[in-house]
Amino acid sequence: MHTEELYELFLKAENGITTDTRSCGKGMLFFALHGENFDGNKYAHDALKLGCIAAVVDDASIGVSDQIILVDDVLKTLQNLAKYYRRTFLEIPVLGITGSNGKTTMKELTAAVLSKKFKVHATKGNLNNHIGVPLTILSAPRDCQFLIVEMGANHIGEIANLARIAEPNLGIITNIGLAHLEGFGGKDGVKKGKKELFDYLSEVDGARVFVHGGYDELMEVSEGLDRSIFGTQEMKPIVRFEMDGGRKFVWAEQGYESEGRYFQLEGDYNLDNIAAAIAIGRYFGVGREDVSEAVSEYVPSNNRSQVVKTRSNEILLDAYNANPSSMKKALESFAKNNKGDRLVILGEMRELGDFSSESHKRVVTLCTELGLDGVFVGMEFCKVKEFISGDGRFYEEVENLALEIEENKVVGKNILLKGSRGMAMERLLPHL
């Protein structure tokens, strides 16, 4: 079936696309994706029984009928359909967001600000890979006025591929840090991989990028592009935090400074995310009061920069992901802004390859330098403990630490809880 024909079928799927029979329902179109450990083709007939109008498969043994559509490659077909649908949104801004840290928070803040003026559709959660990006596009309502697509990557070439699917006309790179070093082969590889978004936009007529002027690497990779620069005293908007009976943010642009507003996002590293959201919102004409209100109302979720108060402790939960750059920022911010009885509980960082040992050593050493009592969880931390001077408690598994806490309760602490997603450090919350 040609993409044009499949698009007509997609338009009849009143409840959209699904790739998981657990979310199948009436009026949906099922795509039978498969990988090393799963094969959606096997569930095509189940999807139809659950109410899907058709199932797209690439295994001929499933059979072919009016409702079973055989294609050469289901994933490629899904991506091509998303690209075809994207081109029906010719007149709207499409913003691509990538970077080593902060993509999802920046995306959500930007969506909150722009929603004060536009009907915005943005990536849900972190559906930002070769499957998530097409699903994001295909779930956009037809009357969408602004599309925001988060793009993640762990190897060179991935952002370029996602950009070809989403075809953005706007772009922003949050930062270029030490993330997915195993796949990118080092910091230079990360830089090359993230730059692929700007490389794509350099070929798009009328494209614009938003660049934090305080980062030399971002200024370098955006050179020659039409760009809006923010984040410095010379190139505003700029954001600062202040303490006034609680934590407030204040933002300024040329000839204007906002009143301080309370907000619910922790961590000094989020200054950049707030500034980016404001810069993009103001570029597209969102009013000053609306900008302030949107940031103030934003509530972080999904284990990102959340403050959780238990009966015994106050916890800064930032356990969605971790890499050397985000660990450093989180630790420095926590040390600066928390003066009470402090404790950091850190899970290991994943996908670092040959850089893992040195990266974990640096995190432990930084805790000592900042005067932070540290608890380190995971085999990658345990492998380096004998090479580290200073204090620190090491546990191979989260479960081991949980048992220890049950026997020796932690009380009256300000705690930073952070680690890579695979560590699921939030499992410790019931014990804290």
Residue 269's pLDDT band, with cuts at 50, 70 and 90, is confident
The one-letter amino acid code at 82 reads: A
Higher pLDDT, 402 or 90: 402
Higher pLDDT, 389 or 69: 69
The pLDDT assigned to 390 comes to: 65
If one counts every other C-beta atom within 10 angstroms of the C-beta of residue 276, the result is 29
Distance, CA of 49 to CA of 47 (rounded, Å): 5
Instruction: Match domain 3-74 to its CATH number in 3.40.50.300, 3.40.50.1820, 3.30.300.30, 3.40.1390.10.
Output: 3.40.1390.10
223 contact partners, CB below 8 Å, separation of at least 6: none
Reduce the secondary structure of the chain to three states and give it as a string.
CCHHHHHHHHHHCCCCEECCHHHCCCCCEEECCECCCCEHHHHHHHHHHCCCCEEEECCHHHCCCCCEEECCCHHHHHHHHHHHHHCCCCCCCEEEEECCCCHHHHHHHHHHHHCCCCCEEECCCCCCCCCHHHHHHHCCCCCCCEEEEECCCCCCCHHHHHHHHHCCCEEEECCCCCCCHHHHCCHHHHHHHHHHHHHHHCCCCCCEEEEECCCHHHHHHCCCCCEEEECCCCCCCEEEEEECCCEEEEEEECCEECCCEECCCCCCCHHHHHHHHHHHHHHCCCCHHHHHHHHHHCCCCCCCCEEEECCCCEEEEECCCCCHHHHHHHHHHHHHHCCCCEEEEEECCCCCHHHHHHHHHHHHHHHHHCCCCEEEECHHHHCCHHHCCCCCEEECCHHHHHHHHHHCCCCCCEEEEECCHHHCHHHHHHHC
Residue 263's pLDDT band, with cuts at 50, 70 and 90, is confident
The one-letter amino acid code at 379 reads: M
Higher pLDDT, 285 or 244: 285
Give mean pLDDT, residues 110-129: 94
In CATH terms, the fold of domain 306-431 is Protein-Tyrosine Phosphatase; Chain A (3.90.190)
pTM summary value? 0.86
Give mean pLDDT, residues 182-193: 81
Q: Among candidates 189, 218, 197, which has minimal Cα distance to 95?
A: 197
Superfamily designation of domain 89-297? Mur-like, catalytic domain (3.40.1190.10)
| CA separation, residue 169 to residues 121, 200, 203, 355, 402 (Å) | 15, 9, 10, 35, 48
Q: What is the CA radius of gyration of the chain?
A: 23
Residue 395's pLDDT band, with cuts at 50, 70 and 90, is very high
Strand 247-253 and strand 227-230: the pairing is unpaired
Average pLDDT, rounded, for the chain = 92
pLDDT tens string 207-217 = 999 999 999 99
**Peptide bond connecting 93 to the previous residue in cis, omega within 30 degrees of 0:** no
pLDDT tens string 122-167 = 999 878 999 999 999 999 999 999 999 999 988 889 999 999 999 9
Q: Do domains 3-74 and 89-297 have the same CATH topology?
A: no
The pLDDT assigned to 307 comes to: 86
Strand 247-253 and strand 261-262: the pairing is antiparallel
Higher pLDDT, 236 or 268: 236
For residue 383, the Cα-to-chain-centroid distance in whole angstroms is 29
Percentage, residues of the chain above pLDDT 70: 98
Q: Two tokens at 343?
A: 């404790």
Q: Among candidates 256, 257, 254, which has minimal Cα distance to 228?
A: 254
The pLDDT assigned to 181 comes to: 67
The pLDDT assigned to 244 comes to: 75
220 contact partners, CB below 8 Å, separation of at least 6: none
Residue boundaries of the structural domains of the chain:
3-74, 89-297, 306-431
Percentage, residues of the chain above pLDDT 90: 75
Higher pLDDT, 245 or 171: 171
Burial (CB count <10 Å: 0-12, 13-18, 19+), residue 145 = middle
Helix axes 3-12, 74-86, angle to 10 degrees: 80
The pLDDT assigned to 39 comes to: 92
Q: Among candidates 295, 254, 271, which has minimal Cα distance to 110?
A: 295
The pLDDT assigned to 7 comes to: 96
pLDDT tens string 306-355 = 888 999 999 999 888 888 988 998 999 899 887 789 999 999 999 898 89
Question: Are residues 348 and 378 in contact, defined by beta-carbon separation less than 8 angstroms?
Answer: yes
The pLDDT assigned to 179 comes to: 66
Distance, CA of 183 to CA of 352 (rounded, Å): 8
Residue 266's pLDDT band, with cuts at 50, 70 and 90, is confident
**Residue 246: pLDDT over 80:** no
**Residue 401: pLDDT over 90:** yes
| Phi–psi pair at 121, nearest 5 degrees | -120, 130
Question: How many Cα atoms sit within 13 Å of 246 on the Cβ side?
Answer: 7
